[in-house]
Amino acid sequence: MKNNEIEEILNLHNECFLDKKKYIDIENMFNNSSYKINTIVEEEFIGYMILLDSFDSYELFEIAIKEKYRNKGYAKKLLYSISYNKDIFLEVSEKNIAAIKLYEEIGFKKISIRKKYYLDGSNALIMKK
């Protein structure tokens, strides 16, 4: 991964998520073999997905697509790139209806709730595929 891709991931993360990251945070994930980072780049950087590869499962750590490219199938493309040879877990804000719908279309099921999990006080839905 090139430095400019790390910058793109950092910028998109900080646009999309309440928890702000620094360059070193993304760089550390890139340098840790437990994290798998997939990006979509066409004429420009479009989005990314980060998976945490645990011993017996994956955690979809985060996925983000630039706003002007949303609803064009890029998130699905990233999600379909996952090898589904072990369980995959994710957390998503109950307020993020579009993401929940996408995950359900891919085959994820709601299995639990974490109350007031996010910085804005919203609950996290735990989903599994």
Instruction: Give the pLDDT of residue 68.
Output: 96
- Active-site residue among 67, 91, 104, 105? 91
- Active-site residue among 84, 103, 105, 118? 103
Instruction: Give the pLDDT of residue 55.
Output: 87
The answer, yes or no, to whether residue 7 has pLDDT greater than 90, is yes
Instruction: Give the pLDDT of residue 24.
Output: 94
> What are the structural domains of the chain?
1-128 (3.40.630.30)
The answer, yes or no, to whether residue 8 has pLDDT greater than 80, is yes
Of 19, 83, 7, 18, nearest in space to 48 by CA: 7
Instruction: Give the pLDDT of residue 51.
Output: 96
Strands (E), 2-128: 35-41, 45-53, 57-65, 87-93, 109-114, 124-128
42-96 residue pLDDT tens: 999 999 999 999 889 999 999 999 999 999 999 999 999 988 789 999 999 999 9
User: Three-state SS for 42?
Assistant: coil
Indicate the pTM of the whole model: 0.88
- Is 15 catalytic? The answer is no
- Is 91 catalytic? The answer is yes
105-121 residue pLDDT tens: 999 999 999 999 988 89
Query: What 8-state DSSP symbol labels residue 54?
Result: -
